[in-house]
Amino acid sequence: MTSSCSALKLLLLSTPVGPLGSGLGGGVELTLTNLSQELRRRGHHLCVAAPAGSVLGDVPVIAIAGQLQPTAHTQGRQTPTVLPDNAVLANMWDYARQVQDDYDLLVNFAYDWLPFYLMPFFRRPVAQFVSMGSLSTTMDAAVCQAAAKFPDSIGVYTRAQAETFPCEANWRILGSAVDLLLYDFCAQPQDYLVWLGRISPEKGLEDAIAAAQRSQKQLKILGKLEDQRYWDQIQQDYPTASVDYLGFLPTAELQFVVRQAQALLMTPRWIEAFGNVAIEALACGVPVIAYRRGGPAEIVQPGKTGWLVAPDSVDGLVEAIARIDHLDRSACRQQAADEYSLEAWGDRFEQWFREILHSDEMTNSAG
């Protein structure tokens, strides 16, 4: 039994595509880091089960051995579900099965079929945080079946992300958040633009480079080099672009580079579920120029904290870059403070968890 204001015992199960801190997990790594901090600040008891090698600040991590899962966006829409030998995903959920009675609730961050399939076999309820939009038919079916059977259990970042799935559901729109204390405001930028993210085709880096080149601006690039062939091709296609690739940086170093930029360019080809990098830039007072697609279109306030551009239009990016001076850097920081605070976000998660526990109690007492 969980009363409405008691501390919760939570087991968070991480993404199986890489250790936390590696960058392979993309924005879900920041989401897990921020959420763990915020839930602990609220007095909840939590453990995080994650692939061996994970680092999560001072939050205790149960290191799970095993082979990493391939990332869903590198698989085809019809590719059958893959489970490597000695899969870390299977090992994490085997661990969860064994320790479930020590917790009130399990919270899944893996974008994978298995944790959805396993829900009815667990004694404890599972909250499913879906970190990307629709990418495969098996995952669509898993999400939609879980949504039908456990209506309160599916959380997403944004409405645009939820709408990519082929079913109506009681999606819990949770958004994301930044710890403002970790990002410094910078009123006077240097003469460069920045691009942040995994270097992988769905992120459309080549458009940002093309737009920066045409605008005669330097582009600093930060992020995990996920697809070497894609990166090599970009370098071949833009041999003279003024590009400075700085690698994958931890948050403190990332914000040092980002905050001095004139703007962040976001050029996703896919429907970005959220785009944590957008709110990190805003937190530094850096406007966001993004394609009008997916999460960034729900974040950017055009003409105030950035510009939204017709998807896949380099011309549109170039025009927006020419109008950066119309944007107000303090309004960017203010938007991050007003709309993406850890406190408000923590309230949403906490309420979601309590509703799942309440439904579970109702179901059990009825059964």
Q: Which is nearer to ligand UDP, 125 or 204 (CB)?
A: 204
Least distance (Å) between residue 23 CB and ligand UDP: 6
Nearest distance in Å: CB 345, ligand UDP = 14
With beta carbons less than 8 A apart as the criterion, state whether 51 and 14 touch: yes
Question: CA gyration radius for the chain?
Answer: 20
What are the helix (H) ranges across the chain? 27-41, 88-99, 113-118, 137-149, 159-162, 205-214, 228-237, 251-258, 276-283, 295-299, 314-322, 329-339, 342-366
Q: What is the DSSP letter of 233?
A: H
Q: What are phi and psi for residue 157, nearest 5 degrees?
A: -75, -50
Alpha-carbon distance of 257 to 222, in angstroms, equals 9
Nearer to ligand UDP, 155 or 223 (CB): 223
- Toward ligand UDP, which CB reaches closer, 128 or 276? 276
Residue 111 C-beta: closest distance to ligand UDP, Å: 10
Is residue 99 within 8 A of residue 129, CB to CB? The reply is no
Q: How far is the CB of 103 from ligand UDP (least distance, A)?
A: 26
DSSP state, residue 263: -
Which distant-in-sequence residues (6+ apart) come within 8 Å of 39 by Cβ?
8, 10, 46, 346, 349, 350
What is the spatial distance between Cα 204 and Cα 267, in angstroms, rounded to a whole number?
5
Rank residues 180 and 249 by Cβ distance to ligand UDP and give the closer one: 249
Strand, coil or helix: 338: helix
Q: How far is the CB of 246 from ligand UDP (least distance, A)?
A: 7
Query: What is the token pair recorded at 299?
Result: 């974040």
The residue type of 352 is: W
Please tell me the distance from the alpha carbon of residue 192 to that of residue 289, in angstroms, as a whole number.
13
Closer Cβ to ligand UDP, 251 or 359, answer by number: 251
Amino acid at 169: A
Strand partners, 173: 156
Eight-class DSSP state of 24: T
Closer residue to ligand UDP in complex, CB, 213/276: 276
List alpha helices for 75-163, DSSP H: 88-99, 113-118, 137-149, 159-162
Nearer to ligand UDP (CB atom), residue 125 or residue 268:
268
Shortest distance, position 21 Cβ to ligand UDP, whole Å: 9
Nearest distance from residue 322's CB to ligand UDP, in Å?
25
Give, rounded to a whole angstrom, the gap between the first and last alpha carbons of the chain: 16
- Phi then psi for residue 159, to 5 deg, are -60, -45
Give whichever of 125 and 133 is closer to ligand UDP, judged by the CB atom: 133
Q: Judged by CB, which is closer to ligand UDP: 24, or 105?
A: 24
Query: Which residues of the chain form contacts with ligand UDP (CB under 6 A)?
Result: 23, 26-27, 30, 196-198, 222-223, 248-249, 251, 254, 274-277, 280
| Shortest distance in whole angstroms from residue 99 CB to ligand UDP | 28
Question: Shortest Cβ distance from residue 104 to ligand UDP (Å)?
Answer: 28
